[in-house]
């Protein structure tokens, strides 16, 4: 009996990863592409945060704060590619849905509650 089968409860399915020799893309390529994706998203986040501190108007700051949220989700998703957990994609989907609410909230603050 393998160690993973010992940890599983009686009658439950155990996740066995596929053999890497049958994959279409090698793990090395996934690591390189994931690293480049993290670097690009981190650069976008850094530039967005830098612009938040450089602009003068509150409206511009609100828009840039909202725009800085999505590179954070991008960093999270690209690092999720490098891990073998499925819950991270659910968290990213929830973050994307809640990001829309922050956009609406910022629009209400900028317009001072007017419609």
Q: Specify the pLDDT at position 93.
A: 80
Q: pLDDT tens digits, residue range 37-51?
A: 889 988 988 988 888
Q: Specify the pLDDT at position 76.
A: 82
Contact yes or no for 33/21 (Cβ under 8 A):
no
pLDDT at 33 over 70: yes
Where is pLDDT greater, at 15 or 43?
Answer: 43
Q: Specify the pLDDT at position 43.
A: 92
pLDDT at 21 over 70: no
**What is the C-alpha to C-alpha distance for residues 77 and 96, in angstroms, rounded to an integer?**
11
Q: Specify the pLDDT at position 88.
A: 74
pTM to 2 decimals?
0.61
User: Percent helix, strand and coil across the chain, each rounded to 5?
Assistant: 75, 0, 25
Q: pLDDT tens digits, residue range 49-93?
A: 888 888 888 778 777 877 888 888 888 888 877 776 777 778 878
């Amino acid at each position: 009996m393998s160690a993973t089968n010992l940890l599983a409860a009686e009658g439950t399915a155990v996740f066995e990863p596929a053999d890497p020799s049958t994959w279409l893309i090698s793990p090395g390529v996934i690591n390189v592409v994931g690293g480049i994706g993290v670097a690009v998203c981190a650069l976008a986040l850094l530039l967005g945060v830098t612009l938040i501190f450089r602009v003068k108007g509150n409206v511009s700051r609100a828009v840039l704060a909202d725009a800085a949220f999505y590179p954070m989700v991008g960093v999270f998703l690209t690092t999720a590619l490098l891990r073998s957990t499925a819950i991270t994609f659910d968290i990213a989907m929830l973050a994307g849905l809640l990001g829309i609410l922050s956009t609406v909230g910022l629009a209400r603050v900028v317009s001072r509650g007017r419609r």
